[in-house]
Protein backbone atom coordinates (compact mmCIF):
# COMPACT_ATOMS: atom_id res chain seq x y z
CA UNK A 1 0.00 0.00 0.00
CA UNK A 2 1.42 3.38 -1.00
CA UNK A 3 2.29 5.87 1.71
CA UNK A 4 0.00 8.89 1.82
CA UNK A 5 1.61 12.31 1.84
CA UNK A 6 -0.59 15.19 2.93
CA UNK A 7 0.24 18.54 1.32
CA UNK A 8 -1.13 21.62 3.07
CA UNK A 9 -1.20 24.79 0.98
CA UNK A 10 -3.75 27.53 0.43
CA UNK A 11 -2.88 28.67 -3.11
CA UNK A 12 -2.37 25.22 -4.61
CA UNK A 13 0.46 26.04 -7.02
CA UNK A 14 3.21 24.23 -5.13
CA UNK A 15 0.81 21.47 -4.11
CA UNK A 16 -0.12 20.78 -7.71
CA UNK A 17 3.51 20.62 -8.80
CA UNK A 18 4.54 18.37 -5.92
CA UNK A 19 1.50 16.16 -6.33
CA UNK A 20 2.33 15.34 -9.94
CA UNK A 21 5.97 14.60 -9.22
CA UNK A 22 5.43 12.61 -6.02
CA UNK A 23 2.62 10.59 -7.60
CA UNK A 24 5.08 9.46 -10.28
CA UNK A 25 7.25 8.11 -7.46
CA UNK A 26 4.39 5.94 -6.22
CA UNK A 27 3.09 8.04 -3.34
CA UNK A 28 -0.61 8.69 -2.68
CA UNK A 29 -1.20 12.42 -2.36
CA UNK A 30 -3.89 14.39 -0.55
CA UNK A 31 -4.10 18.19 -0.67
CA UNK A 32 -5.81 20.34 1.94
CA UNK A 33 -6.09 24.05 2.56
CA UNK A 34 -4.77 25.20 5.93
CA UNK A 35 -8.23 26.18 7.21
CA UNK A 36 -9.55 22.60 7.05
CA UNK A 37 -6.28 20.74 7.54
CA UNK A 38 -6.35 20.68 11.34
CA UNK A 39 -9.85 19.21 11.33
CA UNK A 40 -9.07 16.51 8.77
CA UNK A 41 -5.48 15.42 9.44
CA UNK A 42 -6.58 12.57 11.70
CA UNK A 43 -9.11 11.42 9.10
CA UNK A 44 -6.43 11.13 6.43
CA UNK A 45 -3.86 9.44 8.72
CA UNK A 46 -0.93 10.49 6.51
CA UNK A 47 2.57 9.06 6.76
CA UNK A 48 4.07 12.52 6.24
CA UNK A 49 2.92 16.14 6.03
CA UNK A 50 4.36 18.75 3.66
CA UNK A 51 3.39 22.17 5.00
CA UNK A 52 3.81 25.25 2.82
CA UNK A 53 4.42 28.39 4.86
CA UNK A 54 3.31 31.52 2.92
CA UNK A 55 5.36 34.68 3.35
CA UNK A 56 2.32 36.47 4.78
CA UNK A 57 1.18 33.58 6.96
CA UNK A 58 1.92 32.25 10.42
CA UNK A 59 5.47 31.93 11.63
CA UNK A 60 6.83 28.53 10.68
CA UNK A 61 7.16 27.44 14.31
CA UNK A 62 3.55 28.26 15.15
CA UNK A 63 2.21 26.58 12.01
CA UNK A 64 4.23 23.42 12.68
CA UNK A 65 3.12 23.28 16.31
CA UNK A 66 -0.53 23.43 15.24
CA UNK A 67 0.02 20.42 12.99
CA UNK A 68 2.16 18.64 15.57
CA UNK A 69 -0.68 18.96 18.10
CA UNK A 70 -2.87 16.69 15.95
CA UNK A 71 -0.35 14.25 14.47
CA UNK A 72 3.06 12.81 15.34
CA UNK A 73 4.08 12.06 11.73
CA UNK A 74 7.11 13.79 10.15
CA UNK A 75 6.61 17.33 8.84
CA UNK A 76 8.50 18.99 6.00
CA UNK A 77 7.98 22.75 6.17
CA UNK A 78 8.54 24.82 3.05
CA UNK A 79 9.69 28.29 4.13
CA UNK A 80 10.71 31.55 2.48
CA UNK A 81 14.03 31.71 4.36
CA UNK A 82 16.30 29.19 6.14
CA UNK A 83 14.66 28.17 9.41
CA UNK A 84 15.56 25.78 12.21
CA UNK A 85 12.85 24.26 14.39
CA UNK A 86 14.93 22.06 16.66
CA UNK A 87 12.43 22.39 19.53
CA UNK A 88 9.72 20.60 17.49
CA UNK A 89 10.48 16.94 16.95
CA UNK A 90 10.28 15.48 13.46
CA UNK A 91 10.26 18.76 11.50
CA UNK A 92 12.61 19.52 8.61
CA UNK A 93 12.61 22.89 6.88
CA UNK A 94 13.35 23.36 3.18
CA UNK A 95 13.73 26.78 1.59
CA UNK A 96 11.74 27.89 -1.45
CA UNK A 97 12.17 27.85 -4.42
CA UNK A 98 12.26 24.08 -4.19
CA UNK A 99 14.73 21.66 -5.62
CA UNK A 100 12.54 18.61 -6.19
CA UNK A 101 15.46 16.21 -5.79
CA UNK A 102 16.20 17.71 -2.38
CA UNK A 103 12.55 17.41 -1.41
CA UNK A 104 12.36 13.80 -2.57
CA UNK A 105 15.46 12.95 -0.54
CA UNK A 106 13.92 14.58 2.54
CA UNK A 107 10.65 12.68 2.00
CA UNK A 108 12.40 9.33 1.65
CA UNK A 109 14.60 9.92 4.70
CA UNK A 110 11.64 10.98 6.86
CA UNK A 111 9.58 7.93 5.86
CA UNK A 112 12.59 5.65 6.35
CA UNK A 113 13.09 6.96 9.89
CA UNK A 114 9.40 6.45 10.60
CA UNK A 115 9.56 2.83 9.37
CA UNK A 116 12.71 2.18 11.39
CA UNK A 117 11.29 3.46 14.65
CA UNK A 118 7.82 2.09 14.01
CA UNK A 119 4.71 3.64 15.46
CA UNK A 120 5.71 5.51 18.57
CA UNK A 121 3.57 5.75 21.66
CA UNK A 122 1.26 8.73 21.89
CA UNK A 123 3.14 11.95 22.45
CA UNK A 124 0.24 14.07 23.65
CA UNK A 125 -2.37 13.84 26.38
CA UNK A 126 -5.57 15.72 25.53
CA UNK A 127 -8.41 16.61 27.86
CA UNK A 128 -10.91 19.21 26.68
CA UNK A 129 -8.90 22.21 25.49
CA UNK A 130 -5.75 21.08 27.31
CA UNK A 131 -2.85 19.45 25.44
CA UNK A 132 0.14 18.11 27.37
CA UNK A 133 3.28 17.34 25.34
CA UNK A 134 4.92 14.32 26.98
CA UNK A 135 8.27 15.00 25.33
CA UNK A 136 8.79 18.74 25.73
CA UNK A 137 6.69 19.12 28.92
CA UNK A 138 4.78 22.02 27.39
CA UNK A 139 1.14 22.56 28.25
CA UNK A 140 -1.12 24.23 25.69
CA UNK A 141 -4.48 25.73 26.58
CA UNK A 142 -6.12 27.50 23.68
CA UNK A 143 -3.56 30.02 22.43
CA UNK A 144 -1.56 29.96 25.66
CA UNK A 145 1.49 27.76 26.10
CA UNK A 146 3.36 26.98 29.31
CA UNK A 147 6.63 25.21 30.09
CA UNK A 148 5.98 23.11 33.20
CA UNK A 149 8.44 22.39 35.98
CA UNK A 150 9.32 18.68 36.40
CA UNK A 151 6.93 18.24 39.34
CA UNK A 152 4.14 20.21 37.66
CA UNK A 153 4.52 17.97 34.62
CA UNK A 154 4.43 14.72 36.62
CA UNK A 155 1.44 15.91 38.61
CA UNK A 156 -0.59 17.09 35.61
CA UNK A 157 0.33 13.96 33.65
CA UNK A 158 -0.99 11.85 36.51
CA UNK A 159 -4.27 13.78 36.63
CA UNK A 160 -4.82 13.81 32.85
CA UNK A 161 -4.02 10.08 32.62
CA UNK A 162 -6.71 9.28 35.17
CA UNK A 163 -9.72 11.44 34.26
CA UNK A 164 -12.74 11.34 36.58
CA UNK A 165 -10.87 9.18 39.10
CA UNK A 166 -10.33 10.26 42.68
CA UNK A 167 -6.60 10.23 43.42
CA UNK A 168 -5.72 10.23 47.12
CA UNK A 169 -3.06 12.42 48.68
CA UNK A 170 -1.07 9.28 49.49
CA UNK A 171 -1.21 8.01 45.89
CA UNK A 172 -0.13 11.38 44.51
CA UNK A 173 2.71 11.87 46.99
CA UNK A 174 4.00 8.37 46.29
CA UNK A 175 3.83 8.78 42.51
CA UNK A 176 5.18 12.33 42.18
CA UNK A 177 7.40 12.79 45.25
CA UNK A 178 8.24 9.12 45.91
CA UNK A 179 7.28 9.34 49.57
CA UNK A 180 4.66 7.86 51.88
CA UNK A 181 5.01 10.75 54.33
CA UNK A 182 1.80 12.75 54.64
CA UNK A 183 2.71 14.91 57.62
CA UNK A 184 3.19 18.00 55.44
CA UNK A 185 1.16 18.31 52.23
CA UNK A 186 1.94 21.98 51.63
CA UNK A 187 4.19 21.15 48.66
CA UNK A 188 1.32 19.29 47.03
CA UNK A 189 -1.11 22.13 47.70
CA UNK A 190 1.29 24.69 46.20
CA UNK A 191 1.85 22.66 43.04
CA UNK A 192 -1.90 22.10 42.61
CA UNK A 193 -2.36 25.87 42.94
CA UNK A 194 0.28 26.50 40.23
CA UNK A 195 -1.37 24.02 37.90
CA UNK A 196 -4.80 25.58 38.45
CA UNK A 197 -3.39 28.98 37.51
CA UNK A 198 -2.48 27.51 34.13
CA UNK A 199 -5.45 25.27 33.33
CA UNK A 200 -8.42 27.02 34.93
CA UNK A 201 -10.21 30.11 33.65
CA UNK A 202 -10.98 30.94 37.28
CA UNK A 203 -8.45 29.17 39.54
CA UNK A 204 -10.49 29.97 42.63
CA UNK A 205 -13.45 28.09 41.16
CA UNK A 206 -11.79 25.11 39.45
CA UNK A 207 -13.59 23.20 36.73
CA UNK A 208 -10.86 20.75 35.74
CA UNK A 209 -9.01 19.99 38.96
CA UNK A 210 -11.52 19.44 41.76
CA UNK A 211 -10.71 18.97 45.43
CA UNK A 212 -12.23 15.92 47.09
CA UNK A 213 -12.22 17.14 50.66
CA UNK A 214 -10.22 15.01 53.04
CA UNK A 215 -9.26 12.54 50.30
CA UNK A 216 -7.39 14.10 47.36
CA UNK A 217 -8.28 15.37 43.88
CA UNK A 218 -10.38 14.45 40.86
CA UNK A 219 -9.58 15.62 37.34
CA UNK A 220 -12.75 16.29 35.36
CA UNK A 221 -12.82 16.37 31.56
CA UNK A 222 -14.79 19.27 30.13
CA UNK A 223 -17.16 18.29 27.29
> Do 9 and 108 have their domain in common?
yes
Domains identified in the chain, total number: 2
Q: Domain limits at 109? A: 4-117
Query: Are 150 and 177 in a shared domain?
Result: yes
Alpha-carbon gap, residue 138 to 131, rounded angstroms: 8
How open is the CA angle 214-216-222, to the nearest 5 degrees?
125
Instruction: Specify the pTM.
Output: 0.53
Domain shared by 109 and 166, yes or no: no
pLDDT for 146: 94
Domain end residue (candidates: 61, 90, 117):
117
Q: 181 and 205 share a domain?
A: yes
Looking up residue 192, the CATH number of its domain turns out to be 1.10.10.10
Q: What is the pLDDT along the chain (223 residues), one digit of tens a residue?
A: 457 899 988 777 788 888 888 888 888 898 888 778 777 776 777 889 999 887 655 677 888 877 877 777 889 998 888 777 766 778 888 988 888 889 889 998 888 877 765 554 567 888 888 999 988 899 999 889 999 999 999 999 999 988 889 999 999 999 899 888 888 899 999 999 999 999 999 999 999 999 999 999 999 986 5
Query: Are residues 110 and 27 both part of a single domain?
Result: yes
| Final residue in a domain of this structure, among 54, 89, 117 | 117
Q: Which of 117, 141, 174 is the last residue of a domain?
A: 117
Compute and round to an integer the Cα radius of gyration of the chain.
21
Amino acid sequence: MAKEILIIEDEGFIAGLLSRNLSKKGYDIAILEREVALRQVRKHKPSLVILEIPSSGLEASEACRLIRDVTAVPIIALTERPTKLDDIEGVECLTKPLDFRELLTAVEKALSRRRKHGKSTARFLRCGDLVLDLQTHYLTKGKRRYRLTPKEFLLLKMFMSNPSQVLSHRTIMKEVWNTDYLGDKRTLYVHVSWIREKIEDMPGTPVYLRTVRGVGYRFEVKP
